[in-house]
């Protein structure tokens, strides 16, 4: 049976790869490279990482990722159908025997559906953990993730827009937010730490009271996406006591 090795690669900096991750990529029979029509730079970045860490030629199989079907109105059903379609593409790209590796941004455990998609296939799955964008964000700003003895809620931009600030959280980390959803909140008393391309040479970081820096973040995000053709960003917010 084929083994599918999911390799966490951090936020795109080759220095984020662990020695275990580098060994896994060099030990693969084939490396899968997904392509996104609206973000071709991500495949380019994967190839650049491989150029730095591979010490032998490893065949690469590239494939186009399907898009979500906007005709499916209900969110969970739309995502499930999308995952089914991705699994079918993977099944065609993965060889019937041997070891295939796939590079996963951050870590496969956190707001990433790679493991859910892999579960649809008849393959053995092995996971190599990676640095998460949450870790890279905190490192970029030199801040602790949590307050002393306090919990942290990790959520998505969609949940923040739909539900507002979670009632039982003093610290909120927001991922997968393409709409700067902090704009839906009453900004009074909230501090924000935002980074795009965290841990990479093109890293951008802005922090401060939300009412003072929100517009700067929106403008910086728009400009960076226009320059690079893609963006990955994340932010942490805290309510002042």
* Each residue's pLDDT tens digit, 155-171: 999 999 999 999 888 99
Residue 88 has pLDDT above 80, yes or no: yes
Q: Are strands 30-35 and 99-104 parallel, antiparallel or unpaired?
A: parallel
- The CA-CA-CA angle for residues 173, 178, 181, to 5°, reads 55
Contacts of 226 (CB under 8 A, 6+ apart): none
Q: How many helices (H) and strands (E) does the chain have?
A: 7, 10
pLDDT at 140: 97
Q: Do 231 and 193 share a structural domain?
A: yes
Domain with 177 in it: what CATH number? 3.30.950.10
Residue 21 has pLDDT above 80, yes or no: yes
Q: Do 127 and 145 share a structural domain?
A: no
Does residue 237 contact residue 221 with C-beta atoms inside 8 Å?
no
Q: Do 140 and 122 share a structural domain?
A: no
The tally of domains found in the chain comes to 2
Q: Where are the alpha helices (DSSP H) in the chain?
A: 19-26, 41-53, 75-93, 114-118, 133-141, 157-163, 210-228
Q: Do 180 and 82 share a structural domain?
A: no
Q: Do 102 and 90 share a structural domain?
A: yes
pLDDT digits (tens, 9 = 90+) for 96-133: 889 999 999 999 999 889 999 999 999 999 999 999 99
Domain that holds residue 156: 134-239
- Percent of the chain having pLDDT more than 90? 83
Q: What is the mean pLDDT of the chain?
A: 94
What pTM value is reported for the model? 0.88
Tell me which of 96, 131, 166 is where a domain ends.
131
Q: Do 148 and 92 share a structural domain?
A: no
Domain with 105 in it: what CATH number? 3.40.1010.10
pLDDT, average across residues 57-66: 93
């Amino acid at each position: 049976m084929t083994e599918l090795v999911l390799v966490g690669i951090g936020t795109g900096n080759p220095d984020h790869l662990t020695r275990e991750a580098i060994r896994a990529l060099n030990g693969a029979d084939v490396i899968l490279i997904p392509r996104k029509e609206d973000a071709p730079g991500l495949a380019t970045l994967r190839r650049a990482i491989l150029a730095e860490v591979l010490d032998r030629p490893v065949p690469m199989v590239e494939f186009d990722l399907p898009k979500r079907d906007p005709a499916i109105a209900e969110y969970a059903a739309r995502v499930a159908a999308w995952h089914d379609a991705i699994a079918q593409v993977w099944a065609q790209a993965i060889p019937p025997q041997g070891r295939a590796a796939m590079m996963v941004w951050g870590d496969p455990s956190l707001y990433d559906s790679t493991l859910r998609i892999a579960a649809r296939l008849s393959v053995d799955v092995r996971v190599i953990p990676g640095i998460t964008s949450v870790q890279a964000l905190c490192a970029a700003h030199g801040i602790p993730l949590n307050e002393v003895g306090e919990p942290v809620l990790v959520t998505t931009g969609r949940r923040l827009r739909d539900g507002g600030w979670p009632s039982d959280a003093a610290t909120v980390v927001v991922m997968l937010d393409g709409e700067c959803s902090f704009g839906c909140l009453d900004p009074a008393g909230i501090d924000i730490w935002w980074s795009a391309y965290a841990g990479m040479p093109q890293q951008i970081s802005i922090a401060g009271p939300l009412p003072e820096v929100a517009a700067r973040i929106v403008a910086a995000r728009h400009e960076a996406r226009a320059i690079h053709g893609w963006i990955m960003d994340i932010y942490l917010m805290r309510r002042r006591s």
